[in-house]
Amino acid sequence: MKERLYSSHIALLVFMIQTGVAALSLSRKAAVYFGTNGWLSILILGCAAALNIVLIAMVNRIGNGISVFEIMDKSIPRFITIPIYFFLTAYFAIIGCLVGKQYIHIFQLIAFPSASPLMLKGCFDLLVLFLVTKGIYNIGKTATVFSMLILWMFFLLFAFSNDFELERMTPFVFKGGRNMLSGAVEMFAAFAGYELILFVMPYADRSKKWMRSVQIGNLMTTLTYLSLVFVSFGFFSLEQLKIMLYPLLDMLAYIQLPFVERLENLLFSFLLFTVVVTSSMYTWSACENAQNIFPKADRKVMSLFIVFVMFLISVIPDTLFELELWLKVVSYVEVALSFLFPIFLILLLLIQKRSGVKSHA
């Protein structure tokens, strides 16, 4: 019997893909772009992601769970699909590379300023390679285990209750912000990653309810982000949030224990688990696309090659500012792709059902 990813695995996998380093600066972006009570923007963005997941669910339902590649190959000639797969391979590999490099850069700055970022990135890429070569089922199980090491941190929010002031919220909504539309797109990148479920469809449990698990995972992410940003707006003033690079790290620095110094460094280390899962899923998706370009290629060799190329790409942005500029540009493409790609697949499926087109492959 073929192994399947079950609903519980998928929900936690989506949560782990979405949650990551973006959470560190989300409060600042909400303050800068939306102003007062900017934490409400998280609800709007979470709902937008939920609507996008509905489109993905439609692809799954209309296509009866067949793979994205099968859908495209049935309607589009091979000479057109190959460039598309090349683009998706490169695109997912770049995102996986940048996400990992961003974490490594911040981790180096706060914990190991004298360490080589390339050495740290090399160790990180070895973890990613190990997971990717084990396949999607083991990535899903690993995400389930890793999520247990992350979810407990939610209770740390109670440590800020004594200094939380509702007066800082003010009765005004979205006052003092700027460039809300572009800011919303940039912030939406923190929710991205669920679109990779399009490539997981053939490996998921055949139960029609498994797409609900994707929504549950997105809901977990939304509630996590909402809690973090809400507490930030009550813990810091609006003007403080606007000038802080990573408000969440500053909040974690507030927590002090008599037997541990710089607790924020230790807590930040736990984010490694989410970043490894996120980078692994983007790399795995890149490998899935590459496998459809070179179907006879050895999967492990291909994974090794893609991870090696990712490592080489990570050398180019050598400062955190440059890296985050790359991520900002990539986020615009990712938001567009996450909405347009499912719509494109739905149109292909409707055309196939109407005309009964056979595969071009």
pLDDT of residue 19 exceeding 70 = yes
Structure tokens at 62: 């209309």
For 102-159, give the DSSP string: HHHHHHHHHT-TTS-HHHHHHHHHHHHHHHHHH-HHHHHHHHHHHHHHHHGGGGGGGG
The 10s digit of each residue's pLDDT in 87-121 is: 999 999 999 999 999 999 998 888 778 888 888 89
Averaged pLDDT, 289-305: 93
Residue 117 token pair: 């970022």
Domain assignments of the chain as residue spans, ordered by start: 7-353
The b-or-e profile of 8-38 (16+ CB within 10 A means b, else e) is ebbbbbbbbbbbbbbbbbbbbbbbbbbbbbb
Query: pLDDT-based confidence at 361, cuts 50/70/90?
Result: very low
Q: How far apart are CA 41 and CA 193, in angstroms?
A: 19
- Say yes or no to pLDDT of 261 above 70: no
For position 292, what pLDDT does the model report? Answer: 93
Asked if residues 23 and 248 have their Cβ atoms less than 8 Å apart, the reply is yes
Closest CA to 23 of 192, 170, 174, 215: 192
Is 0.75 surpassed by the pTM of this model? yes
pLDDT at 358: 52
User: For position 198, what pLDDT does the model report?
Assistant: 93
Residue 312 clears pLDDT 80, i.e. is over it: yes
Q: Tell me which of 357 and 206 has the higher pLDDT.
A: 206
Residue 199 pLDDT exceeds 50: yes
Q: Are 235 and 28 in contact (CB under 8 A)?
A: no
The class that CATH gives domain 7-353 is mainly alpha
Per-residue pLDDT, 258: 66
What is the reported pLDDT for 117?
Answer: 83
Give me the amino acid identity at 300.
K
CA terminus-to-terminus distance, the chain: 27
Of the chain, the percentage scoring pLDDT greater than 70 comes to: 95
Q: How far apart are CA 111 and CA 264, in angstroms?
A: 10
Q: What is the pLDDT of residue 2?
A: 59
| pLDDT range class, residue 1, cuts 50, 70, 90 | very low
Long-range contacts for 313-321 (Cβ within 8 Å, ≥24 apart)?
A: 313/93, 313/94, 313/97, 314/97, 314/98, 314/100, 314/101, 314/118, 314/121, 315/118, 317/98, 317/101, 320/102, 320/105, 320/106, 320/109
166 vs 275 pLDDT, higher one? 275
Decide: helix, strand or coil at residue 28.
Answer: helix
